[in-house]
Chain A
């Protein structure tokens, strides 16, 4: 964000605790000192108001980055982020676009309880006019963020509180990662596992275990949900003839279900078994640690699904 803000004065950051507090999760540490209070702006707890305000400013050509402390709190801003940002270009017949990035923590895993554990990709991926990026590692976070900020369309950038502390190589130099280009995290021949965001780590863990049992998995990290890289996914499934989708949102009408539907439609003759989906259980996120871990799309569930689609159960 800082690199981009140095490049373009139209970019500014606003959100709760982003400035004086240095970010509720320290993501914006040092930015107030560098850019000052006119470009790194503390907001009151007023998501509907400041999301709408940022959208209005984007209609006029500014390029705001809006931090939701948690994507769970974006629900009170549903009208501006779903009714205004992604539809403005269409409703105005091409006159007013909305170059804006909404970003924040998404997903369960820290015993935060039901209200603070939303996986909003399940809700928001349904809406045309927006893009969704969901990085799984520090390298991608930088490259995808730069692409998001430079994008002329509204981007929902889903970070994970549980991934904020992981370490990884992040080059100092300039690079961007295009949207709609998946990464193959692990090559394999027996089963394709498609995932994005935090569950990519669960998929990698499962693939590691399965390798020891002689099952070779290809793990695809989608990186973005809208656009989804169908080309890479279909090519992999045509090679492995089996597919498991791992998605931390609920299964009903989710991006994971969309992948299962698309793979079934486009790779029907290549599949040895129907596509299986591993999601969070279809219940509100519980507080108790054991229940929460059980609810998430954990490696145990992924291993069971892969064994089923490869007839090794």
Chain B
């Protein structure tokens, strides 16, 4: 039965958090998470439309269904903690605080994009928000994640003579479980005591290949952490409260011990791998089962049950999301295509030959972020 392990484990893997309980999370935080998750979903829906309208080219991988993961994980981090992810990255960019207009303009290949239209859907970067990409090659971000943790620890301890105080979060899909880069990164993180958390967004499929067809011990992938001497936890990623509570505890431990960790984050993508995927490798029944577990619906119910907001107030948030994303699309559409002078810009920091040096995108020019030192 396709993906039986994933389905049967969904409800049974709630990690109970010791320090944070559901009732302790303030109402304003819950509403912010609701806005962020709804924003990601609406953004992705509009991306799919824009892709059909040929406003977006290349590959486009949407995050619908996985919103609780990015929002819950980012909430568990401090803003100074770096994050790095794979190519299904719009959700992480928005959750981290990138303005949707810059994210959408990047999708559209316009100069107003976070990377001036030179990165595209798979390569979202935001220096002001400590987002180190958006990486297109499966698993390639894992050694980079180890390197970010190496750098924070080196800065804090070797250069400043203090104590390591930042946690790096490195997201990957379950397809990356089988890439050597991940295993080498885990080994190095274990050897060097790097404060990095590898979060496997386990949506059950690497493109069209169900997880058990691609990796050993698919029912218990945290075994792939133990061999590298690191802690592994399993988290129900369809519930943002649970994601936050579990990840907050884990971040606290990693920050305190400077030891790496590994997370089997059980989630599901409602749409195909990319825009060209008809999803013939799985049944509608399976999809419906997960849609019934919808993370946004679940949070909405929790908000109502706890009387944090009324149905009308929730509707107001939903309306605001729609307006914000509509505005982002309009802004992106009005942003010009990059000028041809951009072709030879940002290839090298140094100006030489035909290369014209580098400069920051509009998104960062006002934010006080300095260009390459």
**CB within 8 Å of B: which residues of A?**
9-10, 12, 38-39, 41, 43-44, 46, 48-62, 79-80, 83-84, 88-97, 99, 128-129, 131, 151-153, 179-180, 227
Contacts and interface: CB of A to CB of B under 8 A. Distances in A.
Contacts of A62: 150-151, 154-155
Interface in B114-173: 114-119, 123, 125-127, 132-135, 137, 140, 142-148, 150-152, 154-155, 157-159
Nearest to A83: B137
Contacts of B126: 95
7 contacts: A60-B152, A79-B181, A90-B346, A94-B360, A97-B349, A97-B358, A153-B348
Contacts of A96: 125, 127, 132-133
A144 to B, nearest CB: 15
A61 B361 contact: no
Interface residues of B, number: 60
A88 B146 CA distance: 17
Contacts of B155: 60-62
Contacts of B188: 43-44, 46, 49-50, 53
A56 B158 contact: no
A151 to B, nearest CB: 7
A59 B150 CA distance: 11
A41 to B, nearest CB: 8
A96 to B, nearest CB: 6
B368 interface: no
A9 B158 CA distance: 8
A94 B350 contact: no
Given A39-B158, A49-B143, A93-B118, A152 B349 contact: yes
A239 B176 CA distance: 57
B73 interface: no
Contacts of A48: 143, 180-181, 184
A58 B151 CA distance: 8
A92 B125 CA distance: 6
B368 to A, nearest CB: 13
Contacts of A55: 143-144, 147
Contacts of B152: 60
B116 A93 contact: yes
Interface centre among B113, B143, B151, B360 (most CB of A within 10 A): B143
A219 B114 CA distance: 48
B135 to A, nearest CB: 8
A80 B372 contact: no
Contacts of B157: 38
B328 to A, nearest CB: 18
A128 B353 CA distance: 12
A55 B151 CA distance: 10
A128 to B, nearest CB: 6
A94 B345 contact: yes
Contact of A49 (B123, B184, B359, B360): B184
A57 B154 contact: yes
A180 B352 CA distance: 9
